[in-house]
Amino acid sequence: MRYSAFRIFREGLTGNKGWKPVWREPEPKSEYDIVIVGAGGHGLATAYYLAKEFGLTNVAVLEKGWLGSGNIGRNTTIIRSNYLLPGNEPFYEFSLKLWEGLEQDFNYNAMVSQRSILNLFHTDAQRDAFVRRGNAMILAGADAELADAAQLRRELPFLDFDNARFPIKGGLYQRRGGTVRHDAVAWGYARGADARGVDIIQNCEVTGFDIENGTCRGVQTTRGAIRAKKVAVCVAGSSSRVMEKAGMRLPIESHVLQAFVTEGLKPVLPGVITFGAGHFYVSQSDKGGLVFGGDIDGYNSYAQRGNLPVVEDVAEGGMAIMPMIGRARLLRSWGGIMDMSMDGSPFIDKTHIGGLYFNGGWCYGGFKATPASGFCYAHLLARDTPHPTATQMRLDRFMTGNMIDEKGQGNQPNLH
Amino acid sequence: MIIDHPLLGPRDAAEFVYLGDVSLIDRPDWQAEDAMQRFHEYGYLRDNPAGLHRELWYHEQGDRSWLVVTRDTVTHEITSVELARDVARQRGRSK
């Protein structure tokens, strides 16, 4: 069923009786060409692009819980491509271009809103670093625009420009950045994949891999064994737990990241704003709530909830750039589990086990990457060669010395 | 989280800096035949369990001691806190 304004009109006149469930609930078959483990945003996007771009539809997506129950519905919904390094920036720009055409592509309203992202800077040295980053973005085909304090005073008069400790000297805009209704991304990809014949199987936990002579032939699940020519793991947050079943140790620690939303307010924030001296980012949802977050808690966790010191740190970051946020009442806070990799960058790669593929290590940047992650993973699965924008996201890059360390922090996951 | 420091008693976790898995105590022998492989595993690969995890915390805002904390990564419950010095000596380290 194609969605359109006409369809809404017609259904409105006929008692809304024509709407159908958006995807099927099939029983797992005994064998598929490709089994994707994890029906989060990335897994569903992978299935969608496998079917749509590469013509592979004998595919199953297995999900331990319910569809989209992980970080696709927990993130702060920001999309952007303001990275620096050659291993990352073309990939994220590819992702942003996919976001721009996504709703027409999968015929689903994901409320993609390119309302801009602004990274504030507070010192001359930071300005220089942002100029460099902006140039790197432009070289990769993205957009970047440097704004001085006078311009920002006109556009965002509520910021605390004369803060004694962190005065705002300007910012780097990416006007094409913005926000997306995150859960709709899962529904849209699931619907598009299902319509092309992909089986999305919920409440089906993978309990083991069938590895014979160094080749993965399928998976054991709570709903029986499923054979597959290729098994594609896509379970960021739980990557170590799943890959351990295949005997692998990963360059990943799992950490908890908290997010917050206030009560609904009248429109006050035109786009996404980030603090340059601490870790704080904020946008306003279409319902009016201020959606914001900051640092990860910093210790290994699978708890999906964090602790108070980070709540305080995030609140301090907010107060430092826009004191008016202190008048808003906090409505909800929650946590999600991140694959924090050793260099802060992700993996889309084969493993040393034949037929077993791995996608993970997204740190807290997985949401914006969803379309390109799915596309590049599908490319790797279909053609066995990496997509041109994802050639450096290798699992063995720490052994070969080809880290993609945007912040230059070294192998300390809680500092990325 | 409250970390029950063996010398100082219960302290807020915010006084500490988190390093990571306790295996970081066991630095490989740099002269071993397979030193390259072992340093890769030591520096970059982690067990990352869901459940009990032994990990290194540094009391930066306190007595600057290194502690080995045993904590459940699913519930955040801390069940044991030792001085890292004692743990390292038990593992055969001289200092």
* One domain, residues A296 and A395: no
Whether A320 is covered by a domain: the verdict is yes
* One domain, residues A362 and A389: yes
Task: Domain count for chain A, please give it.
Answer: 2
Q: What is the ipTM of this complex?
A: 0.96
Q: Do B13 and A309 touch (CB under 8 A)?
A: yes
Q: Which of A249, A302, A303 lies at the smallest CB-CB distance from B45? A: A249
Q: Do B43 and A411 touch (CB under 8 A)?
A: yes
pLDDT digits over A61-90, tens only?
Answer: 999 999 989 999 999 999 999 999 999 999
pLDDT digits over A12-63, tens only?
Answer: 999 999 999 999 999 999 999 999 999 999 999 999 999 999 999 999 999 9
With CA atoms as reference, report the closest residue to A37 among A249, A268, A232.
A232
* One domain, residues A169 and A132: yes
Sign of CA dihedral A383, A385, A389, A393: positive
pLDDT digits over A316-356, tens only?
Answer: 999 999 999 999 999 999 999 999 999 999 999 999 999 99
What is the model's pLDDT at position B93?
81
> Which distant-in-sequence residues (6+ apart) come within 8 Å of B35 by Cβ?
B28, B29
What's the rounded mean pLDDT across residues A275-279? 95
* One domain, residues A289 and A392: no
* One domain, residues A246 and A259: no
Residue to mutate among B11, B23, B37, B44, with most A CBs inside 10 A, is: B44
Task: Kindly report the CATH number assigned to the domain that includes residue A310.
Answer: 3.30.9.10
Answer yes or no: is pLDDT of A167 > 90: yes
Q: Do A302 and B43 touch (CB under 8 A)?
A: no
What is the model's pLDDT at position B94?
74
A314: part of which helix (H) or strand (E)? helix A308-321
Å between B70 CA and nearest CA of chain A? 12
Return the percentage of chain B with pLDDT > 70, whole number: 99
**Residue A1: pLDDT band with limits 50, 70, 90:** confident
Residues of A in contact with B13 (CB under 8 A): 299, 307, 309
Number of A/B CB contacts below 8 angstroms equals 68
Whether A13 is covered by a domain: the verdict is no
User: Please, are residues A61 and A50 in contact by the beta-carbon 8 Å criterion?
Assistant: no
Å between B86 CA and nearest CA of chain A? 22
User: How big is the CA angle at A72 (ends A327 and A297), to the nearest 5 degrees?
Assistant: 55
pTM of the predicted structure, to 2 decimals: 0.96
Q: Do B44 and A254 touch (CB under 8 A)?
A: no
What CA–CA distance (Å, rounded) separates B79 from A116? 46
Q: Which amino acid is at A187?
A: W
**What is the DSSP secondary-structure string of A328-360?**
SPEEEEEEEEEEEESSS--EEEE-SSBTEEEEE
Residues of B in contact with A411 (CB under 8 A): 43-44
* One domain, residues A214 and A257: no
Range A318-339 burial, b when 16+ CB lie within 10 A, else e = bebbbeebeebeeeebebbbbb
* One domain, residues A324 and A217: no
* One domain, residues A122 and A147: yes
**Rounded to 10 degrees, what is the CA torsion of A324, A326, A328, A330?**
150
Q: Do B45 and A412 touch (CB under 8 A)?
A: no
Query: What's the domain range around A295?
Result: 113-177+253-341
* One domain, residues A323 and A349: no
Q: Which of A250, A251, A307 lies at the smallest CB-CB distance from B1? A: A307
Task: Kindly report the CATH number assigned to the domain that includes residue A237.
Answer: 3.50.50.60
Residues of B in contact with A352 (CB under 8 A): none
Q: Do B55 and A300 touch (CB under 8 A)?
A: yes
Answer yes or no: is pLDDT of A375 > 90: yes
Domains, in order of start, for chain B: 2-90 (3.30.2270.10)
Answer yes or no: is pLDDT of B95 > 70: no
pLDDT digits over B4-37, tens only?
Answer: 999 999 999 999 999 999 999 999 999 999 999 9
pLDDT digits over A52-62, tens only?
Answer: 999 999 999 99
* One domain, residues A158 and A283: yes
